[in-house]
Amino acid sequence: MNSQHIVRAYDDELATLGNRIAAMGGHAERMVDEAVGALINADVALARKVIADDIVLDEGQRWIDDRAILLIAKRQPMADDLREIIGTIRIAADLERVGDLGKSIAKRVVAVSDTRQPVQLFRGLEALATLALTQLKQVLDVYASRSIGAIAFMRDRDEEIDAMYTSLFRELLTYMMEDPRNISPCTHLLFCAKNIERIGDHATNIAETVYYVVTGEQLPLERPKEDKSHRVVLGSSSAS
Amino acid sequence: MNSQHIVRAYDDELATLGNRIAAMGGHAERMVDEAVGALINADVALARKVIADDIVLDEGQRWIDDRAILLIAKRQPMADDLREIIGTIRIAADLERVGDLGKSIAKRVVAVSDTRQPVQLFRGLEALATLALTQLKQVLDVYASRSIGAIAFMRDRDEEIDAMYTSLFRELLTYMMEDPRNISPCTHLLFCAKNIERIGDHATNIAETVYYVVTGEQLPLERPKEDKSHRVVLGSSSAS
């Protein structure tokens, strides 16, 4: 085996890791999209499918971890390639968590579909999910293209998700105060909203990893990532 | 520099990583303990301290990441040591998340302390936090001692945390139904309970990493880790 051959095999192995990340990303996006669809349409069968699908991401993460560590041990890569490989370990962990969050939404479908909820609550959740999924899709595109110029823009998007989540949080609380029968289903919707908001955080984590992989630098620590829902206090006077 | 000297320097660098993990673990435990204390005693000053303390774990994680990658690039370690180093990256990520969860609890102190909540709700939260912190402390002890025999026992503990969380979830929902003025503070307490439950999950993640570091094997995928709160549906008839 000549040295050119070895370099080619190494590049192939790196590309295989990248392809698996792309596949995991697509799978995670679909899971979240379907989970939110199942929630909105009270589709218990679809929810069950999402729950069953999660294993694919668990296995994907383990495969990436094992493969990445083998690759490091075998090839002993220097700085750039090492960052690349460590990056796949980190991104796989974030995508596995996104899958868990999708699964967690799907698990609440039965509890929520028990009683009919007003359409505007679901619209809010759907809009939040669209934002978070766009964020996730964009960051996976950045990972594929290495065009890190888009990363600054992504942080603004994360703020948008946080603001929308906080407004939804307030809306759900108001609705719970209007009628105690709403408390149980709306609590589950609150957790679904929180899960979607956290998908945005994972997209931001991935953006930071991609930045690190490409530049070798870490993004400054302070980022404006924070939902404001922890400050929301609604007195009973807010209830109609 | 003779080869014995190199080995010694390498061991020192590995030990430095391990010491930093231990320090991060102690810091994370203290943050969670203080956050729950601040919540129970409506201690806003302590809550602010916890929020400010989180930066220590963010910096700790970055330091471990940078140091670990440098160490891999410089020493090109083989299987055992490589697992050890990758293990520190994973554990640092879990501890950083535990700090975030503690901070998230601390941020809700103001919203919750606005109205007086019944003592038994706080007792439930405190008991849950004690379990989760015990879990975290034990897994950090396992990491330090490498006595992985204790890991099977830890999974049972995780089930105990999940059961306690589900019961607290039900209790908080009932309390919200009794009086709409409880909805806003109890929603924040629900999220605090969820945060504490997730600290238990991170302890379990760390246990899996330690197992992998020591044995080179991954624990079987299926673990009984799951809270049952997503199934809880309380009709308004449960309200007094």
Of A119, A139, A130, the residue nearest A165 (C-alpha): A130
CB spacing of B183 vs A173 below 8 angstroms: yes
pLDDT of A238 reads 38
Chain B 164-223, residues with CB within 8 Å of chain A CB atoms: 173, 176-177, 179-181, 183-185, 187-188, 190-191, 194, 218, 221
Q: Which residues touch B27 (CB under 8 Å, ≥6 apart)?
A: B53, B56, B57, B60, B95, B99
Using one digit for the tens of pLDDT, what is the confidence trace for B119-139?
778 889 999 999 999 999 999
- What residues of chain B lie within 8 A of the CB of A183, using their CB? 173, 176-177, 183, 234, 236
Distance between A133 CA and the closest CA of chain B, angstroms: 22
pLDDT of B18 reads 95
Distance between B77 CA and the closest CA of chain A, angstroms: 7
What is the domain count for chain B?
Answer: 1
How far is C-alpha B210 from the geometric centre of its chain's CA atoms? Answer: 15
Closest chain B residue to A191 measured between Cα atoms? Answer: B191
Q: Domain holding B196: CATH number? A: 1.20.58.220
pLDDT of B226 reads 64
Higher pLDDT, B122 or A240: B122
Which of A16-25, A108-117, A139-148, B151-160 is most confident?
A16-25
- What residues of chain A lie within 8 A of the CB of B185, using their CB? 233
Closest chain B residue to A60 measured between Cα atoms? Answer: B221
Whether A110 and B231 have beta carbons less than 8 Å apart is answered as yes
Using one digit for the tens of pLDDT, what is the confidence trace for A189-227?
999 999 999 999 999 999 999 999 999 887 775 555 567
Among A184, A194, A195, A217, pick the best mutation site for testing chain B contact (most B Cβ within 10 A). A184
CB spacing of A191 vs B187 below 8 angstroms: no
Closest chain A residue to B78 measured between Cα atoms? Answer: A73
Reading the block at residue A108, the tokens are: 């609440």
Q: Is the pLDDT of residue A97 over 50?
A: yes
ipTM: 0.86
pLDDT of B225 reads 52
pLDDT of A140 reads 94
**Mean predicted confidence (pLDDT) in A151-160:** 79
- Tell me whether A75 touches chain B (CB under 8 Å): no
Q: Is the pLDDT of residue A177 over 50?
A: yes
- Tell me whether A87 touches chain B (CB under 8 Å): no
- What residues of chain A lie within 8 A of the CB of B233, using their CB? 111, 114, 184-185
Q: Domain containing A91: what range?
A: 3-238
Give the confidence band of A112 by pLDDT, cuts at 50, 70, 90: confident
pLDDT of A2 reads 61
**Mean predicted confidence (pLDDT) in A156-176:** 91
pLDDT of B222 reads 55
Among A179, A187, A222, pick the best mutation site for testing chain B contact (most B Cβ within 10 A). A187
pLDDT of A240 reads 32
- What residues of chain B lie within 8 A of the CB of A89, using their CB? 86, 89
Radius of gyration of the CA atoms of chain B, in A: 20
**Mean predicted confidence (pLDDT) in A136-165:** 87
- What residues of chain B lie within 8 A of the CB of A114, using their CB? 233
CB spacing of B89 vs A93 below 8 angstroms: no
Which residues of chain B have a pLDDT value below 70? 1-3, 6, 221-226, 235-240
> In the 3-class helix/strand/coil scheme, how is chain B assigned residue by residue?
CCHHHHHHHHHHHHHHHHHHHHHHHHHHHHHHHHHHHHHHCCCHHHHHHHHHHHHHHHHHHHHHHHHHHHHHHHHCCCHHHHHHHHHHHHHHHHHHHHHHHHHHHHHCHHHHHCCCCCHHHHHHHHHHHHHHHHHHHHHHHHHHHCCHHHHHHHHHHHHHHHHHHHHHHHHHHHHHHHCHHHHHHHHHHHHHHHHHHHHHHHHHHHHHHHHHHHHCCCCCCCCCCCCCHHHCCCCHHHCC
Averaged pLDDT score across all residues of chain A:
88
- Tell me whether A234 touches chain B (CB under 8 Å): yes
